[in-house]
Amino acid sequence: MSDIKKVVLAYSGGLDTSVIVRWLQDTYNCEVVTFTADIGQGEEVEPARAKAEALGVKEIYIEDLREEFVRDYVFPMFRANTVYEGEYLLGTSIARPLISRRLIEIANETGADAISHGATGKGNDQVRFELGAYALKPGVKVIAPWREWDLNSREKLMAYCDERNIPVEKKKGKSPYSMDANLLHISYEGINLEDPWAEAEEDMWRWSVAPENAPDKPTYIELTYEKGDIVAVDGQEMKPHEVLEHLNKVGGANGIGRIDIVENRYVGMKSRGCYETPGGTIMLRAHRAIESITLDREVAHLKDSIMPRYAEVIYNGYWWSPEREALQALIDNTQEYVNGTVRLKLYKGNVDVVGRKSDDSLFDEKIATFEEDQGAYDQKDAEGFIKLNALRLRIAASKGRKL
């Protein structure tokens, strides 16, 4: 007999996790607690309650975590200008540590013996969920059905539902794209996208219009920053999740935020996916713009040098790690004077910075001007600067060394 008496499951209410509820009950003869997080996926989460009840679940957690998600996870990540492999804004990755944390907290609250998730054995999410869980509760038992069962196709999952009278929606035709959505992005994988030569179908995209179909007139917006975080849009104060919701709408309407990439998964394989991140695309461009006038040069370059490492840490699932916390402390320290306003022009898929201002700006017009600077900068000083920096080059050249 299994020593697992109660399991907390990350539950969406869809086909996979509905099957998992019954599979856990049948396989482990255990009680299942479901946890459904609203992190802005754009679908009602409350229907998950009725689906869980129909499966005999007695303890059901459904929580609105949108504000916490953006405030405590998305915003800290964007302070670092985080991009994985030059393109991916980590929309799926950044949602996992929050879900892992709540799974562990609910397990502690309910006295559960284990947690479970619906991530497959091929992807990154299994790693992210479980690294987070082990970091927060070292002895926790994790059940990953996709690594145990043989229900490895939609047809087998549907047959399992029919055999056990599991209520799920049946969709005719080919399977839909494998999608993950939250307030930061939507990801698409599978079907024709498994061929990296095949162009994504236009009707796949959910949040954005094609750039060529975007309005012919640009949209201007102003973002106000305090310590590296957006606190107002066009002068109107907003909570973090409201900022992202607004930027998603205005960005999507202007054809912003679509990417099509092949990325390197942590588990070793390459994967082709398409992502829509309109609000995040705007945020990244604007944050770099406000930093351009408020950050010291060497601090800015140091941030840029550690950013790929920080991105890799988040992508691979190490949010709850000492290295992420150390990097975050450094990043947050740099944001003390990242205050001010950025003006952007959004037009047919493009995000152009057209203005930036700050009371903490290090841009000195008196020094930077091409006109008369009234002695603010002595150009003669440059001669010695250049000669000193050329000294090692001159010595090597005088010794006949070739470049």
The answer to whether position 49 is within a domain reads yes
Q: Is 88 annotated as a binding residue?
A: yes
The amino acid occupying position 61 is Y
Is the distance from CB of 19 to CB of 149 less than 8 angstroms?
Answer: no
pLDDT digits (tens, 9 = 90+) for 10-40: 999 888 999 999 999 999 999 999 999 999 9
pLDDT digits (tens, 9 = 90+) for 128-140: 999 999 999 999 9
Domain match, 224 and 99 both:
no
The answer to whether position 71 is within a domain reads no
Domain match, 287 and 345 both:
yes
Which candidate, 311, 290, 291, 314, places its Cα nearest to that of 301? 291
Domain interval for residue 249: 185-295+334-357
Q: Is 397 annotated as a binding residue?
A: no
The answer to whether position 341 is within a domain reads yes
| Structural domains counted in the chain | 3
Q: Residue 333 above 60 pLDDT?
A: yes
Is the distance from CB of 303 to CB of 334 less than 8 angstroms?
Answer: yes
Domain match, 18 and 138 both:
yes
Domain match, 146 and 283 both:
no
The answer to whether position 23 is within a domain reads yes
The answer to whether position 285 is within a domain reads yes
Count how many Cα atoms sit within 13 Å of the Cα of residue 141 in the half-sphere of its side chain.
14
Helix (H, G, I), strand (E, B), or coil: what is residue 104? helix
Is the pTM above the cut of 0.85?
Answer: yes
**In DSSP terms, which residues pair with 259 in a beta bridge?**
275
Catalytically active residues, by annotation:
16, 96, 125, 178
The answer to whether position 317 is within a domain reads no
CA 342 centroid distance within chain: 22
Q: Is 10 annotated as a binding residue?
A: yes
Q: Is 11 annotated as a binding residue?
A: yes
Domain match, 12 and 53 both:
yes
The answer to whether position 323 is within a domain reads no
**Contacts of 248 by beta carbon, 8 Å cutoff, 6+ apart:** 183, 207, 278, 279
Domain match, 59 and 157 both:
yes
Q: Is 118 annotated as a binding residue?
A: yes
Q: Is 175 annotated as a binding residue?
A: no
Domain with residue 124: its CATH number is 3.40.50.620
Domain match, 287 and 257 both:
yes
Domain match, 272 and 393 both:
no
pLDDT digits (tens, 9 = 90+) for 54-101: 999 999 999 999 999 999 999 999 999 999 999 999 999 999 999 999
Q: Could you tell me the pLDDT band of residue 370, with boundaries at 50, 70 and 90?
A: confident
Which candidate, 276, 64, 89, places its Cα nearest to that of 185? 276
The answer to whether position 35 is within a domain reads yes
